[in-house]
Amino acid sequence: MEGLSKKEMEIVSWLEFNKKYFFTVDDIKHLTNSRTQRYNIFKSLLRKNRVAKLNRTKYYLVPIKAKSGVWSENPHIIADEACNGKDYFIGGWAAAIYWGLTEQIPMRIDVYTTRRQGKLEVLNTKLLFHRTTKKRLDKAVQKKIGNHDISLLNKEDAKEWLKSKG
């Protein structure tokens, strides 16, 4: 693991002190002199595995106490933050285990969204995005994990999904 520069340490410390583990570049605008400096600092922090990119504008801060650079966060929260908390729901095995319908530990988190598709790997969490319609988003229910709200496939539809895999 590489060391952090004085400016990088200032930014990481400020974010951690203010408990902004999920943040945007605008959150640290006041700590840098220019856009180019912010870009170079983020490029360096990404290379040093001190931040992880969730989407175009949002990042996750790996806390300083993760001295080896390896850290784990709840995958449901990572999925919520990657989708900016709207127009998505978590389905598949992740929903089934949440509702206690199975003990099968999911290898990936299936995220159904209207905005994106494809794969994303963040902090050893594999997210697989599936395209869906706004009508199917009505099958989602809001649940709380810690102090974070997530959108999850409802229990009845999760049971149906599980039967189709059976």
DSSP string, the chain: -PPPPHHHHHHHHHHHHTT-SEEEGGGGGGG-S-HHHHHHHHHHHHHTTSEEE-SSSEEEEPPTT-TTS-----HHHHHHHHTTTSSEEEEHHHHHHHTTS--PPPSSEEEEESS--EEEEETTEEEEEEE--TTGGGGEEEEEETTEEEEEE-HHHHHHHHHHH-
Query: Residue 71's CB: how many other CB atoms inside 10 A?
Result: 17
Work out the pLDDT band at 122, boundaries 50, 70, 90. confident
Residue 2 has pLDDT above 80, yes or no: no
pLDDT value, residue 165 = 80
Work out the pLDDT band at 113, boundaries 50, 70, 90. very high
Residue 137 has pLDDT above 70, yes or no: yes
pLDDT value, residue 67 = 62
Cα–Cα distance measured from residue 82 to residue 101, given in angstroms and rounded to the nearest whole number: 26
Kindly tell me the sign of the dihedral angle through the C-alpha atoms of 162, 87, 121, 3: negative
Q: What is the pLDDT of residues 20-79, one digit of tens each?
A: 989 998 888 999 899 999 889 888 998 988 888 988 889 988 877 766 656 667 889 989
Residue 72's DSSP bridge partners are none
Q: What is the pLDDT of residues 65-111, one digit of tens each?
A: 766 656 667 889 989 989 988 999 999 999 999 999 998 888 999 99
- Give Cα separations from 157 to 90, 97, 141 (angstroms): 12, 13, 11
Kindly tell me the sign of the dihedral angle through the C-alpha atoms of 125, 128, 111, 103: negative
